[in-house]
Amino acid sequence: MEHPISRMILVAIVLAPLIGSILAGLFGRRIGRAGSHWVTILGVATSCVLSMSVLWQLVGQGAPPFNENLYTWFDIGGFQAHVGFMVDHLTAMMMVVVTFVSLLVHIYTIGYMHEDPGYQRFFSYISLFTFSMLMLVMSNNFLQLFFGWEAVGLVSYLLIGFWFRKPTAVFANLKAFLVNRVGDFGFLLGIALVLLAFGSLDYGTVFARVPTMAGHQLGDLFNHGGALSGMWSWSVMTVACVCLFIGAMGKSAQVPLHVWLPDSMEGPTPISALIHAATMVTAGIFMVARMSPLFEMSQTALDFVLFIGATTAFFTGLIGMVQYDIKRVVAYSTLSQLGYMTVALGVSAYSAAVFHLMTHAFFKALLFLAAGSVIIGMHHEQDMRKMGGLRKYMPITYWTSLVGTLALVATPFFSGFYSKDMIIEAAKLSADHRHTWIATYGYWAVLLGAFVTSFYSFRLLYMTFHGRERFRDSAVSDDHHNVDAHTDGAQTLHEPLHDDGHGHGEHHGPVEPHESPWVVTVPLILLAIPSALIGFFTAGPMLFGTDWTGHVKQWPFFLGAIDLQGARDTIAHIGAEDWHGPVQLALDAFGAPAFWLTFAGFALATVMYVFKPELATRARHAFSWPVRVLENKYGFDNLWIDGFAGGGLGLGRLSRTFDSNVIDGVAVNGSASLVDLVARLTRRLQSGYLYHYAFAMIVGLIVLLAFIIRGWH
């Protein structure tokens, strides 16, 4: 019986962005700028429309999940690798989010990059990025997942370093590439262990065999013994899941593999929205949710996930409180929100993690694109200390930014509230039931993170759109009229408009801000709508299996896509006790600690950056040591640059010294010198005179006779 979801539709969803990328990349000069953006936009729009139709078939018409192989990739030694698709509710939701956000980013790019000489190349890259992400989320086996995993990493390298003549951009893309190689090494080890343990890389086969691996140790797979004998008692599932999650730590920028994400701001702003909102950084969250049958077999792995996520959620958010580059503030916000998603994974609230992934994609893309609109309106100025009072000049950008901010800080009734509040509630439930320090630490990290998120979000809003019009100052002075006059010399505050890599430098006179063109503002409006509303209408169906009113029981949205053990299903416990519809949940939130911490962050930011701006400077002086620690990003950059990269360079120098002195000096050059010495000595014996040879023969004969005579006696 033919499946209701057509293979050809799924193939078209994947290939449409790839075809657009090829046309723009290889034939960009022939088809021109307009041709390049039209072929890529049409390709992504086709994928978006078809993805929505697939989601409707699954949700609205009750079609069963699609899981089929399209063709055999290779067959070696009895192992077959296939290219195929697994499309269930989780996959379909990701397909719609990826293609919708990507489509709006493509449209936005027309206005943002219209003067850039690399226009066609940029559209080719972002369309290729969309193809890579679709291959990742639609795969039905680990090998195809790894292909998409590495493809998004490669294209992110190309996009972050898009302005390749700009040294900081080259440094940033190398940093992203190297840090992700560390994570991908762990990810590859995890895949190899899965293959060894289960004998297959097909999702369905592996998940079906998971119960048979319960209690198995590494020693059951290897010939154990020797110095590493203690290691063989480790659980197979724990080691496999930890290795897989190390890959997620790189892609989803979890501490300590988070250092590449803030530097990715060196790429054009549309890339920031695409990488941070719907593609690369969410790949790790999606992967862990997809691998929930494996992770549910190891509480140790879940605790590791919880600890890393909680640390990322709170401590990277603190760094955002001291940043001045408007894009970097939003970047550290992304790090913090990814930490929230990871905490949800660690407490087995996979549906809450994926739900927050969806809502976050909309409002974070909105905030990044709004930041890009501000940069355009400010003639490519990124320093918030040189802004202020932009509300009346850029009304559309301001109001959409306000919507994104309210969603980010989890204001009741906005989309971010429903997803973020569920994560905090799940962490609280886990802490109350388990009574372990890791569970308690996870809860307090996400709870206090509500205050931190609110403070830096409203700080950005106020410094950019409210207060005195500081852009009219010829330079940023250090008096009390300026907000947060301290300078972070490590930040790159100017984004180049052209591909020359030189930037625009300092503005030596006042600038006149202006609202961005419609190709920029229309995507902002289209993203603001789901940022405000989508959580209200989808929280019930996606989390608790009800309609959006919370009264009609249906079935869990992720049933079959996310596998949970009943005792760990934290979202089910929350739904049974606290879910009475989105309105009641929002009303109940006004008495919750998370709301009042959010309000405290808002109030403090309002006082410091609206009513008493001099308090900001005083606070920096009063807390100078913690501020320096945050500006230094806890020293992680030094650890990676001086430690990891520097250690690699030192090892390379040592290897070169060993190679030149020992390998070349002794083995290669030494042996050559020995042969040369022997040749020189031998050459002296070949004089060419007959009497020399006769003399040598007589001496040799005498020596031979002496040995013979001695042997007789």
pLDDT at 228: 46
- At 481, the pLDDT band (50, 70, 90 cuts) reads very low
pLDDT tens digit sequence for 278-301: 567 888 999 999 999 999 889 999
pLDDT tens digit sequence for 331-384: 999 999 999 999 999 999 999 999 999 999 999 999 999 999 999 888 888 889
- At 554, the pLDDT band (50, 70, 90 cuts) reads low
Q: Is the pLDDT of residue 226 over 60?
A: no
pLDDT at 476: 46
3-state DSSP helix/strand/coil percent for the chain, to nearest 5? 75, 5, 25
pLDDT at 489: 34
pLDDT at 230: 55
Q: Round to whole Å and give the CA distance between 14 and 84.
A: 11
| Phi, psi angle pair for 454, to nearest 5° | -65, -40
pLDDT at 337: 93
Q: Round to whole Å and give the CA distance between 297 and 274.
A: 33
Q: Is the pLDDT of residue 138 over 50?
A: yes
Joined tokens for residue 141: 């086996």
pLDDT at 490: 35
Cβ-contact 423, 341 below 8 angstroms:
yes
CA distances 480 to 84, 472, 485, 614, 631, Å, are 62, 16, 8, 6, 21
pLDDT at 500: 39
Q: Is the pLDDT of residue 448 over 50?
A: yes
Q: Is the pLDDT of residue 640 over 70?
A: no
pLDDT tens digit sequence for 102-127: 999 999 999 888 888 889 999 999 99
Of the candidates 548, 531, 532, 529, which has an alpha carbon nearest to the alpha carbon of residue 540? 548
Label residue 161 exposed, middle or buried (CB < 10 Å: 0-12, 13-18, 19+).
buried
pLDDT at 713: 62
The conformation of residue 227, written as its DSSP 8-state character, comes to: G
A 10 A CB-CB count for 368 gives 30
Dihedral angle computed from the Cα positions of residues 369, 539, 249 and 435, in that order, rounded to the nearest 10 degrees: 140
Round the average pLDDT of the chain to a whole number and report it.
84
pLDDT at 501: 42
Q: Round to whole Å and give the CA distance between 354 and 577.
A: 21
Average pLDDT over residues 535-559: 78
Joined tokens for residue 21: 């990328």
First to last CA, the chain: 102
For the chain, domain boundaries? 303-475+512-611, 637-711
- At 480, the pLDDT band (50, 70, 90 cuts) reads very low
Q: pTM for this one?
A: 0.86
pLDDT at 645: 63
Q: Is the pLDDT of residue 589 over 70?
A: yes
Cβ-contact 36, 123 below 8 angstroms:
yes
Joined tokens for residue 140: 């039905």
pLDDT at 496: 40
In single-letter form, the type of residue at position 505 comes to G
pLDDT at 671: 77
Cβ-contact 251, 283 below 8 angstroms:
yes
pLDDT at 76: 81
pLDDT at 660: 74
In single-letter form, the type of residue at position 555 comes to W
pLDDT at 53: 95
Average pLDDT over residues 535-563: 78
Joined tokens for residue 331: 């970047």
pLDDT tens digit sequence for 485-541: 333 333 333 334 334 343 444 444 556 788 888 888 999 999 999 999 999 998 888
Q: Residue 267: enclosing H or E segment and its boundaries?
A: none
pLDDT at 410: 93
Q: Is the pLDDT of residue 653 over 60?
A: yes
pLDDT tens digit sequence for 77-106: 778 888 999 999 999 999 999 999 999 999
If you write DSSP's letter for every residue of 131-179 in order, what string do you get? HHHHHHHHBSBHHHHHHHHHHHHHHHHHHHTSSTTSHHHHHHHHHHHHH
pLDDT tens digit sequence for 381-399: 888 998 888 999 999 999 9
- Alpha carbon 387 to its chain centroid, in Å, reads 29
